[in-house]
């Protein structure tokens, strides 16, 4: 196997020290803007110099955050992108809709990287570890700024130290601060989540409101088939969505709840699962159902039943792929006859919007 290595910095050096690729298998190194002639005993090339070379099997890219840039350079120079080994594949998706992005480049490259992960396991493990380090640094900056953390803050506790919570720190920490206000103001009503999936957010809701009933609305079997097909046709989700969100169950969700006895599961398609609950009132609701129709139905049910001072979190409101979420909110605002709806967007991972009544 003959390879080029793109990058001559610390990441490349660390990878070489792992010994996964033998020195005799390295043809040379590539720098986007050449700064040296020799690195690690091998010639350093500019991208255009390897454009007409066909004596290599792969180009291993040892750089952070530049995957899309390198991919575009290779396309422009007619370098075979199927030979690129990129660990941070998630950066390839641009501002176009999800369907277009997957069909144009991401699906093909993802398949290549799946094979590459088998061929270069040490390379991928190195990147995983580096990402963990970056996440921890980001979290430390976020948590240790001017946030006046209460001594019993959930985000500090062992049950919420996982990457699930810490890499989406702003969403979960904002929820906890909002919950503190709901508790301080003694807002009455139950709490709920529609779109539970594996229960990460529901777990924190349950932990923060141990005395309130927690309604869990979900099919626990992925999306409604017809709605999924409609969103797929509109290019608002990848085909993998349907199978991905099958990976849950009622029991697995309940097993992580700190106050399981307060949880009430309403399994099935919403809003059918809310029948008989017309008189219920709410203090806090999380809506995380990704698709336009489902978000709209959830707002139609929950907002009128939200007590004054209550709060709704709608996930993916500012997500550039799940465009139906914002459209659903706009539609409900046009329908609602009670006046304006106060919305506060968050700059968290999914682009949550906070609605306060």
Q: Which carries the bigger pLDDT value, residue 164 or residue 209?
A: 209
- Number of neighbouring beta carbons within 10 Å of residue 296: 20
| pLDDT at residue 285, rounded to an integer | 98
CATH 3.40.50.150 occupies which residues in the chain?
149-356
Measured in residues, the chain has a length of: 357
CATH 3.40.50.720 occupies which residues in the chain?
3-125
Give residue 100's Cα distance to chain centre.
19
CATH class name, domain 3-125: alpha beta
- Among 62-71, 128-137, 316-325, which range has the highest average pLDDT? 316-325
| pLDDT at residue 245, rounded to an integer | 93
| pLDDT at residue 224, rounded to an integer | 94
| pLDDT at residue 108, rounded to an integer | 42
Please give the mean pLDDT across all residues of the chain. Answer: 87
Q: Answer whether 179's CB lies under 8 Å from 230's CB.
A: no
| pLDDT at residue 133, rounded to an integer | 59
* Beta strand extents in 13-77 (DSSP E only): 26-30, 38-39, 42-45, 58-61
Q: Is the pLDDT of residue 184 over 90?
A: yes
| pLDDT at residue 110, rounded to an integer | 41
Pairing mode of beta strands 26-30, 84-85: unpaired
Q: How far is CA 90 from CA 4, 19, 58, 114, in A?
A: 22, 26, 20, 13
Q: Is 135 left (phi over 0), alpha (psi -120 to 50) or beta?
A: alpha
Q: Is the pTM of this model over 0.75?
A: no
- Please choose, from the candidates 292, 317, 275, the residue with its C-alpha nearest in 3D space to the C-alpha of residue 226: 292
- Among 43-47, 150-154, 340-344, which range has the highest average pLDDT? 43-47
| pLDDT at residue 98, rounded to an integer | 40
Q: Which carries the bigger pLDDT value, residue 111 or residue 305?
A: 305
Instruction: Classify each residue of 162-184 as buried b or exposed e, where b means 16 or more C-beta atoms within 10 Å of its C-beta.
Output: eeebbbbbebbbbbbebbeebee
Q: Which carries the bigger pLDDT value, residue 6 or residue 109?
A: 6
Structure confidence by residue, pLDDT tens digits, 187-198:
999 999 999 999
- Among 31-40, 83-92, 304-313, which range has the highest average pLDDT? 304-313
- Please choose, from the candidates 308, 309, 328, the residue with its C-alpha nearest in 3D space to the C-alpha of residue 319: 328
What is the pLDDT confidence band of residue 73, given thresholds at 50, 70 and 90?
Answer: very high
What is the pLDDT confidence band of residue 162, given thresholds at 50, 70 and 90?
Answer: confident
CA distance linking residue 42 with residue 16, whole number of Å: 12
CA distance linking residue 31 with residue 7, whole number of Å: 6
Structure confidence by residue, pLDDT tens digits, 80-136:
988 888 876 554 334 444 444 434 444 444 445 556 677 888 988 887 666 665 666
CATH of domain 149-356: 3.40.50.150
If DSSP states are collapsed to H, E and C, what string results for 172-202? HHHHHHHHHHHHHCCCCCEEEEECCCCCHHH
| pLDDT at residue 138, rounded to an integer | 59
């Amino acid at each position: 196997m003959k390879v080029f290595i793109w990058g001559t910095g610390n990441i490349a050096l660390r990878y070489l020290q792992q010994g996964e690729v033998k020195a005799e298998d390295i043809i040379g190194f590539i720098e986007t803007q050449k700064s040296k002639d020799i690195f690690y005993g091998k010639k350093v090339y500019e991208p255009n110099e390897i454009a007409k070379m066909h004596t290599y099997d792969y180009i291993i890219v040892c750089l952070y955050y530049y995957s899309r840039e390198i991919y575009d350079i290779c396309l422009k120079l007619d370098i075979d992108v199927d030979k690129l080994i990129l660990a941070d594949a998630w950066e390839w998706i641009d501002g176009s809709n999800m369907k277009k992005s997957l069909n144009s480049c991401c699906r093909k490259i993802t398949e290549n990287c799946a094979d590459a992960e088998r061929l270069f396991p040490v390379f991928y493990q190195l990147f995983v570890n580096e990402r963990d380090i970056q996440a921890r640094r980001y979290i430390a900056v976020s948590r240790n700024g001017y946030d006046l953390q209460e001594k019993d803050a959930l985000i500090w506790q062992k049950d919420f130290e996982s990457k699930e919570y810490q890499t989406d720190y702003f969403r979960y920490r904002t929820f906890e601060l909002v919950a503190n206000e709901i508790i301080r103001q003694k807002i009455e009503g139950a709490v709920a989540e529609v779109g539970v999936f594996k229960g990460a957010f529901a777990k924190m809701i349950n932990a923060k409101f141990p005395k309130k009933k927690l309604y869990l609305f979900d099919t626990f079997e992925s999306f409604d088939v017809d709605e999924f097909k409609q969103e797929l046709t509109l290019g608002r989700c990848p085909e993998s969505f349907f199978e991905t969100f099958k990976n849950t169950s009622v029991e697995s969700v309940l097993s992580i709840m700190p106050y399981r006895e307060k949880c009430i599961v309403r399994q099935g398609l919403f809003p059918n699962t809310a029948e008989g609950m017309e008189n219920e009132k709410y203090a806090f609701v999380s809506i995380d159902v990704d698709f336009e129709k489902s978000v709209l139905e959830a707002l139609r049910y929950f907002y009128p039943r939200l007590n004054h001072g209550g709060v709704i979190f709608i996930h993916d409101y500012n997500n550039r792929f799940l465009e139906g979420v914002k459209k659903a909110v706009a539609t409900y605002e046009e329908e609602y006859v009670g006046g304006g709806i106060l919305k506060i967007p968050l700059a968290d991972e999914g682009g949550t919007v906070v609605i306060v009544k």
